[in-house]
Structure formats: structure tokens, C-alpha cells
Amino acid sequence: MHILWLLLVLMASGMAELLIGNHGISVPLLAMAGLYFAVLYPWPLLLPYFCLGGLWLDLCSPAGPPAHVITLLLLIPVGHNWRYFGDFSTHVGQIPPGAATGAIVGILSILRIFAVGHGGLSWLQILRIPLMQIGFGALLFPLCSMIWDGIAFHIGVRRFATVNPYDSRWNDNVMDVSDDN
């Protein structure tokens, strides 16, 4: 069930990011879903799904290097570290990882712009991209984690609010992803 949950959230986040992006608003929804699952599951389980999800979104988006694949792969160590050192007790504690996710996406977006050769943008337009990503990441990650936790509770899979890094089930070397909620 956890694989279906992972795929459903990654696909829905990717589609929402594409639909919102078609209106000129850059929201890192797939990256936020990636961070959510990077905290919950061990990296060997996530690696193929993150690569496929990022590649799918990169193929659907306009042009440039595969920034979404790179973003999702960079979020695996971020999520692992947040699992051990982060604050899960409040939704306000989810603002820093959301902002960090937005910063990663923003920096990779700027690198993607320069790699493709869109040099006609002013420095203010280029600076707006990571600031928008950081702002949306900081505001939306607590909301998304709350919504995804609510759904995860009802379908019986791991939830962000129940993360305990000292439980052996949360160890990256253990592939048992069962959960008792």
C-alpha cells in the first residue's frame, strides 16, 4: 500500500506543479512530496520512484536539463537529516525544510535557465525565481504534510507526524516499511 501511496502523491504533485506552472507560477510541489517521502522511507525504496517521477516531470516540462530528477535525488539526504534533527511536534517546525526545499529548487531553476541560454532575463527576474520557490515551499510544506498525514492515517501508511528516528523501522538499512500507526 505504501508504494501506491508514494506513486499517487508523486503523480498528483507533479500534475499539480505542471498545471500551476502553465499559469506562470512556480510551485515546488513535487519536491515537497519528495521531501515528505524522503523523511518517511529508506532511500533504496525511494530511488527508483524518485528517478521515474522526476524524469516524467522533466519530460513533460518545456526544455533544459533534468532538474527535477536532480532535485529529488538531492532531497534524499535532506530528508534523512531532517528525520534525525528536525522538529515534528508543530506545523511551524515544517517551515525550515519547506524553505530549504524551495531553495534547492530555486537554485536548480536558475542553473537550468543559464544552461538553456535564456540570458535575456534581468537579474531581478532571475532573483524572483528562487525567492518565489522558497516562499511557496515554506508556506505550502506544512499544509501539504498536514493534508498527506490526514490521508495517510486513513489508509494506514506511515505518517510524517509519527516519525521516530530511534525506532528500527525508520533505519535506512531496513526495508521493512510496515506501519502500525
More confident residue, 89 or 95: 95
- Residue the block writes with cell 535557465: 113
**Cell numbers given for 123:** 537579474
In the predicted model, what is the mean pLDDT of residues 78-91?
A: 82
Split at pLDDT 50, 70, 90, the class of 141 is: very high
pTM of the model: 0.85
Say if residue 135's pLDDT is above 90: yes
Average pLDDT for the chain? 83
More confident residue, 70 or 119: 70
Q: Provide the pLDDT for residue 2.
A: 82
Distance CA 9, CA 13 (A): 6
In the predicted model, what is the mean pLDDT of residues 102-130?
A: 81
Split at pLDDT 50, 70, 90, the class of 147 is: very high
More confident residue, 147 or 158: 147
Say if residue 63's pLDDT is above 60: no
Q: Provide the pLDDT for residue 62.
A: 67
Confirm if 33 and 147 have CB atoms less than 8 A apart. no
